[in-house]
Amino acid sequence: MAREGRETALAGIGATEFSKRSGRSELQLAAEAVKAACDDAGIAPAEIDGLVTFTLDPSDEIGLIRCLGVRDLAFTTRIPGGGAASVATLHQASAAVAAGAAEVVVCWRAMNERSQLRFGQPQAGGAFAPGSGTSSLLWCMPFGAQTPGAWAALRARPYLDAFGVTNRDLGRVSVVQRGYAARNPAAWFHGKPITLEDHQASRWVVEPVLRLLDCCQESDGGVALLVTTLERARRLRQPPVRIVASAQSIPAEVEVISSYYHGDLTSMPEAVGTAERLWARSGLGPGHVQAAMLYDAFTPQVLMQLEAFGFCGRGEAKDFVADGQLALTGRLPVNTHGGLLGEAYIHGMNSIAEGARQVRGTSPNQAKDVEHVLVSCAMAGAILGRA
């Protein structure tokens, strides 16, 4: 399918350090990350004319452009659904630039998610009102499912049971990603690989699905991504990372994390929908992708996305992982920065930055002969490629 509008590129990536206590405001983290993305691209912050973030981000656009010295914003939007917004920010920034609504759009996410509002702590009150994109969480709270881990485990278990996936199988995802993190100086778990035995010895968070080492971190930090036209990106500081295709998919009755209402829970319809659109728009398939960054708040999500995108058959992801295919020597290196488990939990945005590094050839765990990288948060995805 021919692409509509102008070609777009991810021309700059920026981040703060990833920590457990940043010691500064979330707005400051956002401003630092955006400035870093501008510096990476070689664009003055004043040239930003579009901003995209999550509905959940605590900083506002006006506060941010006051920091950055932006003259006049032409385009803003916010995306619901927690981490499902991550790759959707890139998709919508790309769509805005392709359509000519803006020229330099920055996507950001910044939070003190460990030192201020901890997502991993239980909540029983009304914080999950409609508008968060996860409105049916209200059906979970009075039953004691009050954390992302509980919601995700209840969602994942029918898949795990249908295909005989054990917690030990999930542990292999964690082990390979912590291996990547161990070699990534920016990762919180730099220098701290784990073994499968370490994983199996970690305490149950949600029995019998998730142990501690199946769960992402809680992190302080910020990440920003600068999107502009491919034509302009060719004249900027970095080798351009082309946004070959991008897509969202929110199928009927599917929710973000408490997704229990769409019938068959042994597959991930939102990732299947995203995959269909990405392959159709790009003319590519799973065989054309040399690395993938798959949203990994919890290990089962990695297996389900591998199947949805067709990297292996239904029920085969546990064997794909056990055969070592997620390693640098395997067929599809996955989450080579360490993922949200190993590097940091910046709500998926740091995984998009790693996708860009793989295309540029600057990953701390560089895959070989990279032409295309998939970045996915299931409800949205993008294929990044060499220009």
Partner 1 sequence: MEASRLSTSTRPDPIETPDTAFFWAAAARGELAALACADCGELRHPPRPMCPACHSTRRVERRLSGRGRVLTWILPRHPAPIGFAEPPVVALVDLAEGIRLVSNLVGVAPEAITVGMPVEVEFAPTTSGRAVPVFRPVR
| Residues taking part in catalysis | 295, 345
Q: Which of 260, 276, 328, 330: binder of partner 1 (CB under 8 A)?
A: 260
User: In terms of DSSP bridges, do strands 210-211 and 75-79 run parallel, antiparallel, or are they unpaired?
Assistant: unpaired
Rounded Cα distance between 188 and 197, Å, is 21
- Using rule CB under 8 A, residue 42 touches partner 1: no
- Using rule CB under 8 A, residue 361 touches partner 1: no
- Using rule CB under 8 A, residue 164 touches partner 1: no
Q: Which of 18, 54, 108, 128: binder of partner 1 (CB under 8 A)?
A: 128
Burial class (CB in 10 A: 0-12, 13-18, 19+), 52: buried
- Using rule CB under 8 A, residue 163 touches partner 1: no
Q: Which of 149, 171, 240, 300: binder of partner 1 (CB under 8 A)?
A: 149
Contact present, 387 and 9 (Cβ < 8 Å): yes
**Residue (156 or 375) nearer to partner 1, CB:** 156
**DSSP codes, 315-366:** T-HHHHHHTTTTSTTSSS-B-TT-HHHHT--STTHHHHHHHHHHHHT--TTP
Contact present, 253 and 262 (Cβ < 8 Å): yes
Q: Which residue has the tokens 């398939």?
A: 285
Q: Which of 101, 141, 236, 328: binder of partner 1 (CB under 8 A)?
A: 141
Q: Is the dihedral of CA 285, 262, 350, 194 positive or negative?
A: negative
Q: Which stretch binds partner 1 (CB under 8 A): 12-20, 157-165, 302-310, 377-385?
A: 157-165
Q: Which stretch binds partner 1 (CB under 8 A): 95-103, 153-161, 242-250, 377-385?
A: 153-161
- Using rule CB under 8 A, residue 208 touches partner 1: yes
Q: How far is CA 100 from the centre of its chain?
A: 26
- Using rule CB under 8 A, residue 328 touches partner 1: no
Q: Which of 261, 285, 329, 387: binder of partner 1 (CB under 8 A)?
A: 261
Q: How far is CA 340 from the centre of its chain?
A: 8
Q: Which of 147, 259, 282, 299: binder of partner 1 (CB under 8 A)?
A: 147
- Using rule CB under 8 A, residue 264 touches partner 1: no
Rounded Cα distance between 140 and 160, Å, is 21
- Using rule CB under 8 A, residue 248 touches partner 1: no
Q: Which of 203, 287, 368, 369: binder of partner 1 (CB under 8 A)?
A: 203
Angle formed by the axes of helices 61-68 and 26-41, nearest 10°: 50
Give which of 179, 202, 212, 198 is closest to 298, Cα–Cα. 212
Q: Which of 2, 4, 23, 143: binder of partner 1 (CB under 8 A)?
A: 143
- Using rule CB under 8 A, residue 205 touches partner 1: yes
**Residue (30 or 154) nearer to partner 1, CB:** 154
- Using rule CB under 8 A, residue 140 touches partner 1: yes
- Using rule CB under 8 A, residue 268 touches partner 1: no
Q: What is the dihedral of CA 24, 27, 33, 39, to 10 degrees?
A: -110
C-alpha count within 13 angstroms, C-beta hemisphere, residue 109 = 30
Q: Name the residues that contact partner 1, by CB under 8 A.
A: 120-126, 128-130, 136, 138-147, 149-150, 153-154, 157-158, 161, 203-209, 212, 252, 258, 260-261, 265
